[in-house]
Amino acid sequence: MASFPELASRIVVITGAAQGIGAETARHFAAQGAAIALFDIDSKNAKVVADAIAATGGRAKPITVDVTDEKSVAAAVAATVEAYGGIDILITCAGGYTRLAQVEDMPLDEWDRTIALNLRSAFLCSKAVIPHLKKSKAGRIIHVASISGRTVHASSSPAYGAAKAAVIQLTRFLAWELGPSNITANAVAPITTLTPRVAALRTEADVARIASQVPLRRLATPADHAQVMLFLASDGAAYLNGTVQDVNGGRVMM
Ligand SMILES: NC(=O)c1ccc[n+]([C@@H]2O[C@H](COP(=O)([O-])OP(=O)(O)OC[C@H]3O[C@@H](n4cnc5c(N)ncnc54)[C@H](O)[C@@H]3O)[C@@H](O)[C@H]2O)c1
C-alpha cells in the first residue's frame, strides 16, 4: 500500500463502511493513521470492522445512521465531531440497488428508494459536513458513483444509473461551490466489484462475461477503489477538483 503520512492527522467519515468497498476504504485510511467514523445502518457489522481496525492499532468508531434521513445524518455528524473534534474528509460509499431492472417494470417505490439511497444520501451527507470541512486545512469530498452513471450497461438498474449520474453532477457543483474554501470534491466510478452485495446479484457466468469485456480481464477489487481514494484524499491531489476517476480497468474510456 502507498504511504500518505499527511493522512495520519485527518478525520474521515466513510458511509456504508460496514462492508464492501466502504469497509476496505476504512481499513486503508486507518492503516495511514487516520481516525475513521464508520457510518452505517448495519451497527453490528460496523462494530466488527471497527474492532478489527482497533485490533491493528487503528482508530475507528462505528456510528449508526440512516444516510437517507436528514436528522439521522445530523446526529451522526455531531457524534463524529464530539468524538474526534472535527471532520476533514467525507467518503460516501453507501449506495447500490437490489435487482437488475428496466424502466417498464420498475415500481415507483423502488425508483424512489434507489434514488434516496444513492443521491439523497450524497446530498445530505455533503451538506451536513460542509461547515466542518470549512474548518479543515485540506477538506475533501469523495463520492462513490458507478460506471452505471457514466454509460448504459446491458444489465443494471435505471434508477441506480440515473442516481449515480446525478451524484457525479452533484460532485461538480460541490467542486465549484467549495473550491474557494480550499475543499475539493471528486467522484470515483467503480466497475463491477466483487463485494457481498454484488456476489448475491451476479452469477458466475455474469462475472466471467463482465471480466471478458474489461481490457485488464478481471473485475475490480475493493482495494482498487480504496487506493484511488487514498490518493484523492492526499496532499498530492490538492489540485484535482470536480473530476471523475473511472476505476474500471479501461472498460469505459471517457
Ligand atoms: N460493488 C460494485 O460492483 C460497485 C460497482 C459500482 C459502484 N459501486 C458503488 O460503490 C458503493 C459501495 O458498494 P458496495 O458493493 O461495497 O456496497 P455494499 O452493498 O457491499 O455495502 C453498502 C453498505 O451501505 C450500508 N447502507 C445501506 N443502506 C444504508 C443507509 N440507508 N444508511 C446507512 N448505511 C446504509 C449497508 O449496510 C452496507 O454496509 C456503492 O455506492 C455502490 O453503488 C459498487
Give the global pTM. Answer: 0.98
Residue 197 belongs to a domain: no
Q: Is 197 in the pocket of ligand 1 (CB under 6 A)?
A: yes
What is the DSSP code (8-state) at residue 97?
Answer: -
Q: How far is the CA of 96 from the centre of ligand 1 (A)?
A: 5
Residue 215 belongs to a domain: no
Tell me what pLDDT residue 30 has: 98
Q: Is 157 in the pocket of ligand 1 (CB under 6 A)?
A: no
Q: Is 22 in the pocket of ligand 1 (CB under 6 A)?
A: yes
Whether 239 sits among the annotated catalytic residues: the reply is no
Q: Buried b vs exposed e over 23-55: b needs ≥16 C-beta within 10 Å?
A: bbbbbbbbbbbbbbbbbbbbeebbbbbbeebee
Residue 209 belongs to a domain: no
Structural domain that includes position 122: 5-192+221-244
Residue 203 belongs to a domain: no
Q: How far apart are CA 46 and CA 49, in angstroms?
A: 5
**213 to 18, 92, 120: CA distances (angstroms):** 30, 27, 32
Residue 254 belongs to a domain: no
Phi, psi of 63, deg, nearest 5: -130, 120
Low-confidence ranges of the chain (pLDDT < 50): none
Which ranges of the chain does DSSP label H, i.e. alpha helix? Answer: 20-31, 43-55, 70-84, 108-115, 121-133, 158-178, 196-201, 204-212, 222-233
Kindly report the CATH number assigned to the domain that includes residue 132.
3.40.50.720
Q: Which of 30, 55, 94 is nearest to 230 (CA)?
A: 30
Residue 216 belongs to a domain: no
Residue 154 belongs to a domain: yes
Domain count, the chain: 1
Locate the ligand 1 atom nearest the alpha carbon of residue 220 and give its number: 3
Tell me what pLDDT residue 154 has: 64
Residue 213 belongs to a domain: no
